[in-house]
Amino acid sequence: MLKTEFYTGTFILLSVIISLISADAVFEEKKNDTSVKTVDNDTFVFYVNYTGSDKPCIIARFSAAFQITYLAQNGSSTTHSSVVNMTKPDKYSGSCMEQNNTLKITFRDQWILEMTYSNHKSEYALTRAKLTYKIDSDLFPNATNLGLNDAENTELSEFNVIVGKSYKCYSLSKIDLNQNVTIDFRNYQAQALIKADTKTEGFDTAVECVADIVGSNKLVPIIIGIVLIVLVALVLVAYVIGRRRYRPTYQQV
């Protein structure tokens, strides 16, 4: 009798937990459906082709904003910060080398973003980024040093992925160029080091960043699996303890 009640209670508990997790998964799915990530007016797509060919070595899509710290004069010399979005590019270009691919984007008035993807064995990554930007009174109120400036980081290893795959991260990705300039990437997906003989009409299989995975309902099946394993282990332990506790005794005749 006790064993029957125990198994019945365990089954009910297991059913309730699975139902709650499944309901949470459905809620997550519906919630994500109402906020589908789309390419907006600030997200741009770039194709860098091999010379004399329509085959790309780089396909990239992203939006970018630049957090820039500068000196300002407002009664006294202080440090201010401005966030400048990348507007629709005036033009862009690039190069397709065997070990390195580059993308060079010109926008606003003399602003230039340069990105270099480098190959290392079977993987590639963004290894260099440089921003040429113009300090003016419109974007940088009360700035003291007007004119062109450069910020560059040549020791990056960002968006690392296997050759033949793309890297996708719709969540915010921050890259520091120096102590004064940070790039904020969003809606990012890129594939570089694409071979000239590759038949491609777009991005290959994407490797997603951790932030995108955590922010979705893709962890729900994993959580359900872990919960089931724990419950099965608890049931087995309780069964063993129950058998020892309620083992019948026999009287000698």
Between CA 125 and CA 121 the distance in angstroms is 11
User: Do residues 212 and 166 lie in contact, with contact meaning Cβ atoms separated by under 8 Å?
Assistant: no
Q: Where do we find the tokens 């033009």?
A: 91
In order, the DSSP letters of 141-196 are TTBSS-EEEEEEES---EEEEETT-EEEE-S-EEEESSSSEEEEEEEEEEE----T
Full set of structural domains in the chain with CATH = 2-34+216-245 (no CATH), 44-214 (2.40.160.110)
At 37, give phi and psi (nearest 5°). -75, 120
Per-residue pLDDT of the chain (253 residues; tens, 9 = 90+): 444 444 545 545 555 454 444 434 333 333 333 222 334 568 999 999 999 999 999 999 999 999 999 999 876 678 899 999 999 999 999 999 999 999 999 999 899 999 999 999 999 999 999 999 999 999 999 999 999 999 999 999 999 999 999 999 999 999 999 999 999 999 999 999 999 998 877 899 999 999 998 865 555 566 667 777 887 877 777 777 766 665 555 555 4
